[in-house]
Chain A
Amino acid sequence: MAEEKNILSVVDLHTTFATDKGEVMAVNGVSFNLAAGKILGIVGESGSGKSVSAYSIMQILEKNGSIKSGQILYKGEDITKWPESRMRDFRGKCCSIIFQDPMTSLNPVFTIGFQLKEAIKLHTNRTGKEVEKRAIEMLELVGVNEPEKRIHQYPFEFSGGMRQRVMIAMALACEPDILIADEPTTALDVTIQAQILELMKDLQKKLGMAIIMVTHDLGVIAQMADEIIVMYGGRVCERGTAEDIFYRPCHEYTKGLLRSIPNIDSMGKRLEPISGTPINLLNMPKGCAFCPRCDAAMKICLEQQPPETRTVDGHLASCWKAIQAEIEAGMIHVEAPGSGT
């Protein structure tokens, strides 16, 4: 069965934050599957709910946030029902996360070695010399040279790229099945970014783990992801293989996003931006979230949220325009009003 090879399934997840301006629905009915050993990319503009989706899986939301409904199935078990004690084991052993800024996630007053060893002790039953050995092994694995010396150094003595390697080492110390990487290279220079992305792909092959790669960078996602989900306004608007999304986009937002990036051969040509301003979650349209910025918007888009349907070339999108094309291709049959579902 398809479900068996999915190590993680998120089903109709709703996550909200209580703010003084009202309740913010940051994740609004998100579903996706993560296949074991694969890389799933989540892409979308800032504020589209990528990080909140990731933090919901780990249950590390800020105090004013909570999962309102939906399921998160890890090997078939709904972890949203798990008590905190079990979640503590889940984090690290089953699923680890690395963040954008490796400086803020390392404690400046402890040595790299101390912090790495704490992570190993917390999640495995190694003791004494074994812990140190494992720490050195892990640093070696992520390509930090002279690890025996390096474990005695402090975070400020490491460059940004090296700190991110340490974070990856910590995250992988207990060989989780899933690694979530939230904008892991956004703060790094391109040459260092290339090192880290290469390292992540390498480790993914070596250790066979699955990766959820969260980023706003279409270049990074193109290089890394097997499958992609595109998010807008807290919802998934399109999903498919990397090739589906980049070569056969069907949702108007995905199309606009791809048109708006500069290309090697776009010099001298005008870019085609998406008009308007980013979404305001406190003021969501009734129908399609992208409607206020969409050039192809129709009357129905204003009124009704588009359901997810199979597109003409076989992946999934939630867009009335795409549905129109599917009707024209005879893939969907529209029944007369009043004749039932």
Chain B
Amino acid sequence: MNMNYKPNPENLVEVNDLKMYFPIKTGLFSTTPLKAVDGVTFAIKPGETLGLVGESGCGKTTVGRALIRLYKPTDGDVFFDGKRVDDKSILGLRKDMQMVFQDPYSSLNPRMTVEDIIGEPLDVHHLYTSKADRREQILHLMELVGLNAEHATRYAHEFSGGQRQRIGIARALATNPRFIVCDEAVSALDVSIQAQVINMFEDLQKKLGVAYLFIAHDLLVVHHISKRIAVMYLGKMVETADADELNSNPMHPYTTSLLSAVPYPDPKIAKSSKRIILEGDVPSPLHMPSGCPFRTRCKYATEQCAQEMPKLTDRGNGHMVACWNK
């Protein structure tokens, strides 16, 4: 932690050198730290969306959870609206920072009615004056996310995937938050339904001014919804830039291969484009390579890459890259 760190007052969320290590038992008496997140830095302005992409297991969910303090970070500074987020201040900030989870099937209690699911955060934070007020707020939230008022007394398991995702979003919106972490919030949905939910996220942002950290593995979806995009690899941030800039001018070798691997929904482009096929797999986070985490799969790797982790440096217009050779 750096107690002298001064956040930029323009940012709603600011994260500096965030680290989240999990102790993993490796023997009877020994543990090894699994460095799920190892030095991540980014900022989000009010009403803006930052997309977060990277391979499965690279630490995206962990960033989201540590950020809103569902985990206690190992190290680093998190600021919300200029205030340092710590064990004490989070109690007052919970209302403002919410999360929507990946799986619309398991993240809602099937034995609760829609009304109770959405009403729970209102109860927790005492956000109503009377029973009638509570009911009215719930119906308003349901309308916001495009759910029918008649659905209020039904149980979560009676709904389709897209509808459940809407229930989860209505619940996250109940406390009128200024920031929502959306962890793969549309990934489990069919494309036609996915488009409905993405539009809803965008409408809510316009209407209510919420900022999102939008975690997803579908790069076309992330590009569509994000102002800026951050790319992670093995717990580290390797590149961040404005969405269009990242897409047209990727610099980090991992980002380049990630973008070239996207199957583009157009036969001529998909069949003719030259893919950069990466060799091998992501190393285990328990056996992190020295220096740059990408060097075991990188064709530009040099001696220096094994020695030291490159720092994120600004290559102009806020396009940040962590690479020695690009």
* Chain A contacts to B: CB under 8 angstroms: 45-46, 159, 161-162, 189-195, 197-198, 216-220, 222-223, 225, 242-243, 246-247, 256-258, 260-264, 266-267, 270-275, 277-278
Contact = CB atoms under 8 A, between A and B. Distances in A.
B266 A260 contact: no
A247 B267 CA distance: 9
Nearest to A259: B195
Nearest to A143: B279
Contacts of A45: 190-192
Contacts of B219: 190
Given A195-B277, A262-B220, A264-B220, A222 B192 contact: no
Nearest to A47: B190
Contacts of B277: 191, 194-195, 198
Contact of A161 (B160, B192, B281): B281
A273 B192 contact: yes
A277 B56 CA distance: 29
Contact of B265 (A191, A243, A246, A272): A246
Contacts of A220: 263
B281 A271 contact: no
B163 interface: yes
Interface residues of B, number: 44
A260 B192 CA distance: 6
A257 B191 contact: yes
15 contacts: A190-B219, A194-B261, A194-B275, A194-B277, A198-B275, A216-B191, A222-B264, A222-B271, A243-B268, A258-B265, A260-B195, A262-B195, A264-B264, A273-B199, A277-B193
Most buried by B among A191, A193, A198: A191
B251 interface: no
A219 B273 CA distance: 13
A261 B195 contact: yes
Contact of A189 (B56, B162, B191): B56
Contacts of A263: 220, 224, 265
A223 B271 contact: yes
Given A195-B278, A262-B223, A189 B217 contact: yes
Contacts of A266: 224
Given A194-B263, A267-B243, 16 more contacts: A190-B261, A190-B263, A191-B278, A219-B263, A219-B264, A219-B265, A222-B263, A222-B271, A223-B263, A223-B270, A261-B191, A261-B265, A264-B220, A267-B223, A271-B199, A272-B195
B263 A262 contact: no
B281 A159 contact: yes
A197 B275 CA distance: 11
Contact of A273 (B196, B260, B269, B271): B196
Contacts of B133: none
Contacts of A262: 195, 198, 220-221, 223-225
A274 B198 CA distance: 12
Interface in B225-247: 225, 243-244, 247
Interface of B: 55-56, 160, 162-163, 190-196, 198-199, 202, 217, 219-221, 223-225, 243-244, 247, 257-258, 260-271, 275, 277-278, 281-282
A248 to B, nearest CB: 12
A256 B192 contact: yes
A243 B267 contact: yes
A190 B275 CA distance: 11
Nearest to A277: B160
A334 to B, nearest CB: 32
Contact of B195 (A198, A247, A271): A271
Contacts of A264: 220, 223, 247, 264
B262 A260 contact: no
Given A219-B265, A222-B267, A257-B191, A270 B202 contact: yes
B102 to A, nearest CB: 14
Nearest to B257: A191
Contacts of B270: 219, 222-223
A198 B265 CA distance: 16
A35 to B, nearest CB: 17
Nearest to A253: B192
Nearest to A275: B196
A162 B279 CA distance: 12
A195 B55 CA distance: 14
B25 to A, nearest CB: 17
Nearest to A187: B56
Contacts of B198: 262, 271
A278 B194 CA distance: 12
B265 A222 contact: yes
B223 A274 contact: no
Nearest to B54: A189
Given A189-B56, A190-B219, A222-B266, A270 B199 contact: yes
